[in-house]
Chain A
Amino acid sequence: MSNTAVMSAPASTGKTKSKDRPKMSALRKKKIATNAFISFVSFILLFGLCFMIIQPILNKISVSFMTEGDLYDPVVINIPAHFTTANYQLSAKLMNYKLAFKNSMITSLTIGLLQVAVCTLVGYGFARYEFPFKKFWFGCVLLMIIIPPQIMSTSLYLHFKFFDFLGIAKLVTGNTINLRGSVLPYYLLSAGCMGLKNGLYIYLIRQFFRNIPKELEEAAYVDGAGTLKTFVIIMLPDAKPILVSCFLFSFVWQWTDGFYSRMFLGNLKLVSTSLSSIADDLSTYIASQTGVQTTVSVAYSNCILSTGTLMIILPLIFLYLFAQKGFVESLSSTGIKM
């Protein structure tokens, strides 16, 4: 009795299997077809969006190698007929590229390092220590992220124009110090965590330090490490990825920043500020060359502008190619939450 039951069981399953097989495969076929369709659609969508983002850069590259005649030639669209590097030479001359590049490099590096160093201290303090009014001060950090710097620009502008710390300068020389035109204001701002997007760095770094287990810190204390030693030897090496990415952001945003550079870095020639005035420089340059006051055609000034933009973003593209992970990974690993 039991034997027949056992015997019949596989037979019946075999039967149902053979019955189901064509049905299953039809279903599977349908599934495969829909999957293929979906991936095809998403491929087209992604390809289009990626192309849309990259296209301006490609367009700039092709335009930057054209001669002025090519710009007006309706036949020439993407590949220049007369290949030339004259545009690069001209925009390098107009922007004073070597000097501006050197200045920008030094400023971005030093300011990036300074900002990350200060923000690390503050972020660490917020993450690992309990003290009265902590919530209030952290609220101030959030407020700092929200408040646009432009709102205080009027006052800060005057503040640095007539700079006087506790009235000392007035006492000694009888006059206030004009810090406009020097680079000091921005370094002061950065040392006080008030630079470009510094609130964001504090927030990110705090978020990272909060995730480090408390036991690690306690073990360090038990082993006799002081506060500073724990911070430098135990905590900092762990936080390397987030620090690197904050530095990268700081560097890149400082590199292209126009607002702070114009307001607080005085008359220092930077790539960002020289790029924003390249169109005007071009018309004065051409006027001085030909001796006739003419308006430069839109196409040509655009071409020079594209070349200048390319020259500025080229270092950034290289940086991004090598440190892509540093930019993206840390942002997603800290787990931003509210």
Chain B
Amino acid sequence: MKKKLNGKVSGLEKRRAVTGYLFISPFIIGFLLFMVKPMVQSFYMSFCDVQVGAGSFEMVRNGISNYKYAFRVDPDYSRLLLEGFGRMIVYSLAIMVFAFFVSLILNQEFHGRAFVRAIFFLPVILSSGVILGLETDNSVIAQMHATVEESMTNVSVTAVLEDILRTAGIGTRAYETVFELIDNIYDIALASGIQIIVFLSGLQTIPKSMYEAASIEGCTAWESLWKVTFPMVSSIFLVNWVYTIVDFCMRTDNEVMTKITDTMVDQLNYGLSSAMAWCYFVLTILFLAISSFLISRRVYYYE
């Protein structure tokens, strides 16, 4: 009897497993056809010299000369790669801080909260795809305009502050980075729409009783921010960090990506562009893995 029951259960399980596979089969097919195959092919291509003929394309193996070319001969690639990574780290950190800060403010009760939230989410919809690329073009012109205006009329308060801090001569490069971030606060605000919403959803899951308990124990608001809020949303930090970095990699105004696409479309050098793409991808994944590992060790799971 027991044996029969067991057999029946495993039969049902089997059927459910088959149904499950049926449900996810579009993904598996798509993944194998449009992800694994192109990935393998482009990996192979990065070791080849690709010649596109009339009816087909040929691949001639040439070892690691594409990689050598990308790093040693190409004048821009290694510089762009380094700069891209520097920008990615600085901007991702800035986006995280900004998003966390804004979501803390938006989490409080005030009139017109829904309206403000809607505005902060607006860039996710309006500044995506091509429009983002156009915005950056515009901002270059706007910046030029601003510098011209600044040199003509009186100086602003922040400029004076920048000058004072610069002449102080301590940690000039750190200041420069901060100034750059402040100048580009618009870009940061545009890029942090989703992160704000995700942080907000995390903040709203924290039970009110925790804050009450903390305040009875004598916690100030500042202390309860670090002792209650921060640990409770630490898992959200991980999610947002991954999302931010991935988002940064896929942005249309990413210089490394532009370089790769240019190499492919304009110079028709498929092998070289594959090599460049793979280097960028591997470095990004490595960075993502190491940084998420470091963050995940600090994540606190409350259950």
B27-A155 in contact (CB<8A): no
Determine the distance from Cα of A273 to Cα of B134 in the docked complex, in whole angstroms: 12
B198-A258 in contact (CB<8A): no
A276 within 8 Å of B by Cβ? yes
B264 within 8 Å of A by Cβ? yes
Please report which residues of chain B, range 102-146, place their CB below 8 angstroms from some CB of chain A when the two chains form the complex. Answer: 102, 105, 108, 110, 116-126, 128-131, 133-135, 138, 141
A73 within 8 Å of B by Cβ? no
A155-B197 in contact (CB<8A): no
A192-B189 in contact (CB<8A): no
B197-A338 in contact (CB<8A): no
Question: Which residues of B are found within 8 Å of A193, using beta-carbon distances?
Answer: 26-27, 30-31
- A contact face: mostly helix, strand, loop, or mixed: helix
- CB-based nearest A residue for B240: A336
B175 within 8 Å of A by Cβ? no
Determine the distance from Cα of A193 to Cα of B27 in the docked complex, in whole angstroms: 6
Count of chain A residues with a beta carbon within 8 Å of a chain B beta carbon: 86
- Given known A-B contacts A53-B120, A152-B38, A192 and B288 have beta carbons under 8 A apart: no
B220 within 8 Å of A by Cβ? no
- Please choose the segment from A1-9, A284-292, A326-334 that sits at the chain B interface, where 4 or more of its residues have CB less than 8 A away: A326-334
Question: Which residues of A are found within 8 Å of B27, using beta-carbon distances?
Answer: 118, 122, 137, 140-141, 192-193, 202
Question: Which residues of A are found within 8 Å of B252, using beta-carbon distances?
Answer: 258-259
Question: Which residues of B are found within 8 Å of A132, using beta-carbon distances?
Answer: 17
B29 within 8 Å of A by Cβ? yes
- CB-based nearest B residue for A60: B138
Determine the distance from Cα of A332 to Cα of B52 in the docked complex, in whole angstroms: 48
Interface positions of A (Cβ within 8 A of B): 39, 42-43, 45-46, 49-50, 52-54, 56-57, 118, 121-122, 124-126, 128-132, 134, 137, 140-141, 144-159, 162, 175-176, 188-189, 191-194, 202, 227, 252-253, 255-259, 272-273, 275-276, 298, 302, 305, 309, 312-313, 316-317, 319-320, 324, 327-328, 331-338
Interface positions of B (Cβ within 8 A of A): 13, 16-24, 26-31, 33-35, 37-39, 41-42, 45, 52, 55-57, 102, 105, 108, 110, 116-126, 128-131, 133-135, 138, 141, 185-186, 189-190, 194, 197-198, 200-202, 204-205, 235-236, 238-239, 242, 246, 249-250, 252, 257, 260-261, 264, 270, 273-274, 277-278, 280-281, 284-285, 288
